[in-house]
A and B are shown apart, each in its own frame.
Chain A
Amino acid sequence: MISIKDVEHVALLARLTLTEDEKQIYSKQLSDILEHVHKLQDLNTDGIQPTAHVLPLKNVFREDRVGEHMPVDQVLANAPDRQDKFFKVPKIV
């Protein structure tokens, strides 16, 4: 069961603001989904290795060679706000 308080905590971690209605809905929906997901607990997975990658790939490296950088105007082309050669953001605190 995902309480309203859980929903608020997770929303803050995920940087989402929710309305009271949304909190109610997510509390219900996430609880339903997690109840379904809870089925996994039936399975005994002792001694089973987790699969983070399906591929047997390892040691994928690149050489330490400099490539092209982007012109600064291109870097900033999609910026919602900028000043000179910087991205501009509201005050931190």
Chain B
Amino acid sequence: MQLHYLTAHQLHDMLVSKQISAEELTRAVFDRIEQVEEKIRAYVTLTQERALNYARLVDKARLAGEALPLMAGIPVAIKDNMCTKGVRTTCASKILYNYIPPYNATVIERLNEARTVMVGKTNLDEFAMGSSCENSAFFTTCNPWDTNRVPGGSSGGSAAAVAAGETILALGSDTGGSIRQPASFCGVVGMKPTYGAVSRYGLVAYASSLDQIGPFARDVTDCAMLLNVICGHDPLDSTSVPYDVPDYTAFLTGDVKGVKIGVPREYMGEGIDPAVKEVIKKAIDVYTGLGVVVEETTLPHTEYALPAYYLIAPAEASSNLARYDGVRYGYRAKDAGDLVDMFMQTRSEGFGAEVKRRIMLGTYALSAGYYDAYYNKALKVRTLIKTDFDRAFEQFDLLLGPTAPVTSFKRGEKVDDPLQMYMVDICTLAVNLAGIPAISIPAGIVDNLPVGLQLIGRPFGEGDILRAAHAFEQNTDYHCKLPE
């Protein structure tokens, strides 16, 4: 049996019954990494020694009869835009190539309290800006299903690591689809929680009003378990919501009879690959068969989500990324004459093309004379998009559609056309603008590539989403499919 392809809940049982030790599990994962990482390139940094030490401590505690948290000893990979004390955190950018944070992100603290074992830091599009991992300053991660293709992005490293058995679980961040889209491309479960459900403290900001950390897993149960660990109020994040975090595994009852799901017609229209549409239609049939009421609905402002997103996110990014100037940390250009030159050279040499593009775009959108026409207009459209969802949820418990309009594309296919690349996120962006939760689960295979199904829920409706996702999983076997 290959430990590295089991789920966290299976492994938990084996750990508790002492069939395996955490150290053995950790070694199995690193053996797998040894075997496939050369082809996949999911990790920017591996922390093997640290991981083995953590695992041994868990084993020791278990042998001593200590009460351990549920997830103790389970390997987790971390997207390299979450700060890990003493472990290099690069955001896959030259400008932070040598940056070692002196503090842990709140999610890292929570994972440590849960006694999970960090495997390493995964690759991403530089500062989470991208949809293919091709914008990493270091290297491109490959899709385990076809190494000529991209894993999606920006959390491509985390998605690929889970899909390739290079970790059991992973964390990603999602600003416009950066968890769900790579989950779809790599055939794993990926969830973006409600904005404010998971602390952003220590997540290197891309677009602060949209960023949210979430889990990658092999099945919905694992996803729920990891969500249990990372959700909850954090006084260090002013946008973190104080709420009673339920046990998300309690929602996994299999019973979805009478649940009402809406299918926005905008998510099934032009621009969606017909083969992807077919997969979604079959998924609808599965739900109908389970007694779910599925009806068509509408989110009339969907087409405005992309333009609104590409003003709001770059505007916030242009400000968030101003701090990378070569003064306090990270890369500094050599031989700059005076301070302004040092700032300009450092940033020009330190940032990649897409990051610069978005900084320029955002700076322009905020600059004098354009604020009302661009940024403020986008914020008003954001209100309309949010209202679309509010209306839909008056009628439906969940919304359903494809996660991405296409399956994974070939490396290099879209790099020269930013707009084409941005289009890959058309089904996911609006969810971030509205701040609501959504999941992507494996729902089919087209030409040997996975297709993801997106379920969108009400604010803090993660439990309802997980219930429906789990019911689908119980009646299909797509989540069991492995890349060759």
Contact = CB atoms under 8 A, between A and B. Distances in A.
B347 A89 contact: no
B62 interface: no
Given A53-B239, A57-B241, A70-B102, A15 B325 contact: yes
A9 B360 CA distance: 10
Nearest to B436: A54
Contact of B102 (A2, A9, A54, A77): A77
A18 B359 CA distance: 13
Interface stretch (B180-188, B304-312, B476-484): B304-312
A83 interface: no
B367 A13 contact: yes
Contacts of B329: 78-80
Interface in A40-93: 40-41, 43, 45, 48-55, 57, 60, 62, 70, 74, 77-81, 87, 89-93
A49 B102 contact: no
A87 B326 CA distance: 10
A78 to B, nearest CB: 4
A42 to B, nearest CB: 8
Contacts of B356: 16, 18, 22, 26
Nearest to A47: B380
Nearest to B383: A51
Main secondary structure of the interface of B (DSSP, over half): helix
B418 A51 contact: no
Interface string B363-398: 110010000011011111111101000000000000
Interface string B291-331: 00000000001011011101100000010001001111111
Interface string A3-20: 000110111011111100
A interface residue count range (under 10 / 10 to 19 / 20 to 34 / 35 or more):
35 or more
A51 B435 CA distance: 11
Nearest to B366: A13
Given A2-B364, A37-B310, A57-B241, A45 B347 contact: no
Pick the most buried of B325, B347, B360: most chain A CB atoms within 10 A of its CB.
Answer: B360
A52 B209 contact: yes
Contacts of A70: 102
Interface stretch (B10-18, B50-58, B122-130, B337-345): B337-345
Contact of A43 (B325, B351, B381, B422): B381
Given A14-B363, A33-B418, A51 B338 contact: no
A52 B422 CA distance: 22
Given A29-B418, A77-B100, A90 B435 contact: no
A79 B303 CA distance: 45
10 contacts: A7-B360, A14-B360, A37-B307, A40-B311, A41-B377, A51-B379, A52-B209, A52-B379, A78-B328, A79-B329
Contacts of A14: 318, 322, 347, 359-360, 363
A70 B329 CA distance: 15
B307 A39 contact: yes
Interface in B413-460: 418-419, 422, 433-435
Contacts of A49: 380, 383
Nearest to B334: A80
Interface of B: 98-100, 102, 195-196, 209, 235, 238-239, 241, 301, 303-304, 306-308, 310-311, 318, 322, 325-332, 336-345, 347-348, 351, 356-357, 359-361, 363-364, 367, 373-374, 376-384, 386, 418-419, 422, 433-435
Contacts of A80: 326-327, 329-332
Given A17-B348, A36-B306, 14 more contacts: A13-B367, A26-B360, A36-B310, A45-B377, A45-B380, A45-B381, A48-B384, A51-B380, A54-B382, A57-B239, A57-B241, A80-B329, A90-B338, A91-B339
B363 A55 contact: no
A30 interface: yes
Contacts, number: 161
A57 to B, nearest CB: 6
Pick the most buried of A17, A18, A70: most chain B CB atoms within 10 A of its CB.
Answer: A17
A57 B418 CA distance: 35
Given A7-B360, A14-B360, A57-B241, A50 B99 contact: no
B238 A57 contact: yes
Pick the most buried of A32, A34, A39, A54: most chain B CB atoms within 10 A of its CB.
Answer: A54
B377 A40 contact: yes
B235 A62 contact: yes
Nearest to A38: B307
A39 B304 contact: yes
Nearest to B384: A48
Contacts of B361: 30, 33-34
Contacts of B239: 53, 55, 57, 60
A6 B329 CA distance: 30
A90 B341 contact: yes
B339 A90 contact: yes
A30 B361 CA distance: 7
B435 A54 contact: yes
Pick the most buried of A36, A78, A90, A92: most chain B CB atoms within 10 A of its CB.
Answer: A90
